[in-house]
């Protein structure tokens, strides 16, 4: 499936490999993901990964129970995005690059199938 929210090839590289993300913004995002967000969504078997940075915009992939979950958009906008913007005011767009259609074990089944 071609996901239109995937970062450009120059940023993302091979989609089968996790890119090495460097720079101040990437480090700040990783810190918030590891210290605040992932411990919170782990209770639902979820995980959020930073997969790309373009300028001030970031690309996240949700995995585990969040991938394909019917509440993933709410988690992203009201949980993850809120936490990231509070901790990192200079952040730009937060783009969901997750292929939700391939989620194996969503915490809440999506009504859109």
* For the chain, domain boundaries: 9-102
Per-residue pLDDT band for 110 (boundaries 50, 70, 90) equals low
Q: Where are the alpha helices (DSSP H) in 6-61?
A: 9-12, 24-32, 38-41
Question: 9-102, superfamily in CATH?
Answer: Fe-S cluster assembly (FSCA) (3.30.300.130)
Which one is predicted more confidently, 9 or 110? 110
The neighbour count for residue 69, using CB atoms within 10 Å, is 25
Q: Give 2-60 pLDDT, tens digit per residue.
A: 444 444 444 444 555 555 688 999 999 999 999 999 999 998 889 999 999 999 999 99
Between CA 37 and CA 16 the distance in angstroms is: 24
Between CA 60 and CA 5 the distance in angstroms is: 10
Q: 100 near 74, Cβ under 8 Å? A: no
Quick one: average pLDDT of 97-113?
Answer: 60
pTM of the model: 0.74
pLDDT number for residue 105: 53
Between CA 94 and CA 23 the distance in angstroms is: 17
């Amino acid at each position: 499936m071609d996901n239109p929210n995937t970062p450009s090839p120059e940023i993302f590289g091979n989609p089968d490999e996790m890119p090495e993300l460097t720079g101040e913004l990437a480090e700040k995002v990783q810190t918030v993901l590891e210290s605040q967000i992932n411990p919170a969504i782990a209770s639902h078997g979820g995980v959020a990964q930073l997969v790309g940075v373009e300028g001030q915009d970031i690309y996240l992939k949700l995995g585990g129970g969040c991938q394909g979950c019917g509440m993933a958009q709410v988690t992203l906008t009201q949980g993850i995005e809120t936490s990231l913007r509070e901790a990192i005011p200079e952040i730009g767009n937060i783009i969901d690059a997750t292929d939700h259609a391939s989620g194996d074990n969503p915490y809440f089944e999506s009504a859109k199938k």
